[in-house]
Amino acid sequence: MNDTLLIAVYAFSGAAVAGLAGAGVLRLIRRRSLTVSLAVVSAVAVTAMLAGTLAVAEAMFLSAHDLSVVTMVVAMAAVVSLVTALLLGRWVVARSHELAVAARSFGDGGDFTAPEQPATAELSALSRELAVTSARLAESRERERALEASRRELVAWISHDLRTPLAGLRAMSEALEDGVAADPRRYLRQIRTEVERLNGMVGDLFELSRIHAGTLALSPSRISLYDLVSDALAGVDPLAREHGVRLVGEYVEPVPVEVDGKEMSRVLGNLLVNAIRRTPADGTVAVTAGRSHDGVVLSVSDGCGGIPEDDLPRVFDTGWRGTDARTPPAGAGLGLAIVRGIVEAHQGRATVHNITGGCRFEVTLPAAGV
């Protein structure tokens, strides 16, 4: 038993020396190819075995004949191990290179396509993660393109909408200045109207910039939906009378919600104004509000005749105003974008879908806590 323990100690000592030397070599070549590292690991394993054998032989536990036999066996094992390590290293490096080439494609704006050749479990997992990342980047690029197109469209609309009232203001002011205005009071009323219109557009732009910058500060408080809807209907009643549109708010439950009253009043006002302007005379704009399994749902239905299915996903985009036939004279394509921004800031969502004869905008908000 003592001889066995002594042999184990000598063998471990020799192998430990080879292992420490191999660790030092691996540290020096840690930035080299994986093939070289695998070859070193294979050589260390065989060298450790040979060093342990030589240490035992030095202690005279092996005869010269036995030592030569063991050395020959270790040499053959070293050859086989080294060849196997080189082949494995070259295969792994090749798979790694294929993965790098595939990854470079989606880094340049393309889509990631995983290599067809089988790889190790780790490289396969990395390939799956790269595929997921590629899909996310593609979605991000698509959103960025959509936002950029929306920004360009918004700039074009705003430029057009600003040019018209500014030209009118300039003409009327010149007429007043030259004393050629037939009815100065009418000109002054028109100037005031145009200034209010411009002020509203600037206010919408400022609100939208706060939403996009994430600086929209909310001051939530417990409010009854009934009171919120009643105030909003009262505010747009003159516009509805002017357009000959009937307002209906009969199905509104007195459900409490935790919202910023001022901002949610703006949401309701934008939806109602949007609905009134797009509903023909003698039409109806209906407002409903109540509980649902998702929280609290507030809806505004109009008689616009419906929105093309292809345009439904873009309704809440900044600057979207649909076809020319649906473009209101005072619109800038910001109202619905502001609606979505405010609702999402309240952890809710805004949706739209077509109904018979028109469309329905729905705002879903979290229910107020007890």
Q: For 98-107, what is each residue's pLDDT tens digit?
A: 777 777 766 5
Q: Among the ranges 47-51, 93-97, 279-283, which has the highest mean pLDDT value?
A: 279-283
Whether residue 56 has pLDDT greater than 90: no
Q: Please, which pLDDT band fits residue 118 given cuts at 50, 70 and 90?
A: low
Whether residue 329 has pLDDT greater than 50: no
For residue 61, the model assigns a pLDDT of: 56
CA 58, CA 208: separation in Å to the nearest integer? 85
Whether residue 191 has pLDDT greater than 80: yes
| pLDDT, greater one: 324 or 369 | 369
Q: Measured at the alpha carbon of residue 306, what is the angle toward residues 279 and 255, in degrees to the nearest 5?
A: 70
Q: What is the mean pLDDT of residues 81-94?
A: 73
For residue 361, the model assigns a pLDDT of: 94
For residue 267, the model assigns a pLDDT of: 92
For residue 119, the model assigns a pLDDT of: 67
Whether residue 126 has pLDDT greater than 80: no
Summary mean pLDDT of the chain:
79
CA 15, CA 74: separation in Å to the nearest integer? 13
| pLDDT, greater one: 68 or 291 | 291
Give the dihedral of Cα atoms 121, 124, 126, 130; nearest 10 deg.
Answer: -170
For residue 63, the model assigns a pLDDT of: 67
Contact 368, 258 (CB under 8 A): yes
For the whole prediction, is pTM greater than 0.85?
no
Q: What is the mean pLDDT of residues 171-193?
A: 84
Q: Please, which pLDDT band fits residue 236 given cuts at 50, 70 and 90?
A: very high
Whether residue 362 has pLDDT greater than 90: yes
Task: Pick the range with the lowest mean pLDDT from 132-136, 185-189, 245-249, 336-340.
Answer: 132-136
Q: Please, which pLDDT band fits residue 330 given cuts at 50, 70 and 90?
A: very low
Q: What is the mean pLDDT of residues 273-293?
A: 90
Whether residue 185 has pLDDT greater than 70: yes
Contact 43, 78 (CB under 8 A): yes
For residue 312, the model assigns a pLDDT of: 85
Q: Please, which pLDDT band fits residue 168 given cuts at 50, 70 and 90?
A: confident
For residue 326, the model assigns a pLDDT of: 41
Q: How much of the chain, in percent, has pLDDT values that exceed 70?
A: 84
Phi, psi values for residue 31, rounded to 5°: -95, 5
Q: What is the mean pLDDT of residues 215-240?
A: 88
Per the listing, tokens 């066995």 go with 4
CA 22, CA 17: separation in Å to the nearest integer? 9
246-252/284-292 β-pairing = parallel
Question: What token pair was written down for 335?
Answer: 């109202």
Q: Please, which pLDDT band fits residue 272 given cuts at 50, 70 and 90?
A: very high
Question: What token pair was written down for 260?
Answer: 């910023």
3-state secondary structure string across the chain: CHHHHHHHHHHHHHHHHHHHHHHHHHHHCCCCCHHHHHHHHHHHHHHHHHHHHHHHHHCCCCCHHHHHHHHHHHHHHHHHHHHHHHHHHHHHHHHHHHHHHHHHHHHCCCCCCCCCCCCCHHHHHHHHHHHHHHHHHHHHHHHHHHHHHHHHHHHHHHHHHHHHHHHHHHHHHHHHHHCCCCCHHHHHHHHHHHHHHHHHHHHHHHHHHHHHHCCCCCCCEEEEHHHHHHHHHHHHHHHHHHHCCEEEEEEECCCEEEECHHHHHHHHHHHHHHHHHHCCCCCEEEEEEEEECCEEEEEEECCCCCCCCCCHHHCCCCCCCCCHHHCCCCCCCCHHHHHHHHHHHCCCEEEEEEECCEEEEEEEECCCCC
For residue 336, the model assigns a pLDDT of: 87
Q: Which residues pair with 295 in a beta bridge?
A: 292
For residue 328, the model assigns a pLDDT of: 41
Q: What is the mean pLDDT of residues 172-183?
A: 83
For residue 325, the model assigns a pLDDT of: 39
